[in-house]
Every structure is written in structure tokens, then in C-alpha cells.
Copies of this chain bind each other. A is one copy, B any other.
Amino acid sequence: MFSMQPIGYVRSPYGQTSEVPKGCGAHHDAEGVVEILPQFADGLKDIEGFSHLFIIWVFHHSAGYELTGVPPTDTEPHGVFATRSPRRPNPLGLTVVQLLGRDGASLKVKGLDMLDGTPVLDIKPYLSSVPMEQVKRGWLADAEARRDQSSPEK
């Protein structure tokens, strides 16, 4: 077992899980702040040069896990490691945010999908992307195609 401690907390507009956009075509452009605890603030040196960051965080309201489940985007069950379900063996979340600015130990960011008060475990610079034409999105692409077919007016 490995013990992890919060390095900070998210200040987000989302107070409850039901408010976070989910499912096909969900857009995450919520803005908020990642507040780093004073004892870790020196670790932010030079972070403001990066446009995007990985935030690794804890689904702190999630209890237990399911190895398969039906995600909000589909009607079929998929393995938890093929989804972003909060009910994971280790309740880790991962979000890419855009860094809008830094004020001391507070990072103003865009693209949050976590709840207010979410504990943050780590921040890493986003350095490279897989070209989208090389990314295959598995069951999610199938689910989106089915949705588009059933809503031809879109």
C-alpha cells in the first residue's frame, strides 16, 4: 500500500457531482483555482511558463469500486479502466487544465471537472500530445455514433 497526502485543493464552481457535465460531448470549460498548500508552494517555481497541466486528484466522495459499469455515455457496461468512472480500485482522477495564471500558491485554471474541495495529489506539466488522427476512442466512439444516428437533427 502507498500513502498519499493532499498537496492542495480545488476551488471549483461544482458543489455536487450532478452539476459536473458528463457524457457525450460534455464540455469542461469551468474556471477555478488550484490552491497549493503553503509548505508545497516552492514546487510551483516556473510553472507559469506552461499552458496546460495534468492534475492528479482524488475522487474524495467516491466509496468502493465496480470493475464494470454502464457509463453515462452508453447503455452497455465497460471495464472501469476503459472509462473515467469515479468508482475505481484507487479513486484517482486525472484532468488536463489550461493554466490561466498564477498568484502565489494559487493557480487559476480552466477546464475543471472536479468538485469544490477536491484534494490534489500532484501537478505535472503537459508536454506532448498524441495527434488526434492517431487516437482511437473505442466504445466511446461507437456510443457517440449511435447517439448521432438517433438524433439526426443534431
Contact = CB atoms under 8 A, between A and B. Distances in A.
Query: Chain A binding site: helix, strand, loop or mixed by DSSP?
Result: mixed
Contact of A45 (B82, B119, B131, B136): B82
Interface centre among A84, A121, A123, A125 (most CB of B within 10 A): A125
- Taking residues whose C-beta sits less than 8 angstroms from the other chain, chain A's interface range is 35 or more
A56 interface: yes
Number of copies: 2
Contacts of A91: 2
Interface string A64-79: 0001100000000111
A47 B7 contact: no
Contact of A79 (B42, B58, B96, B129): B42
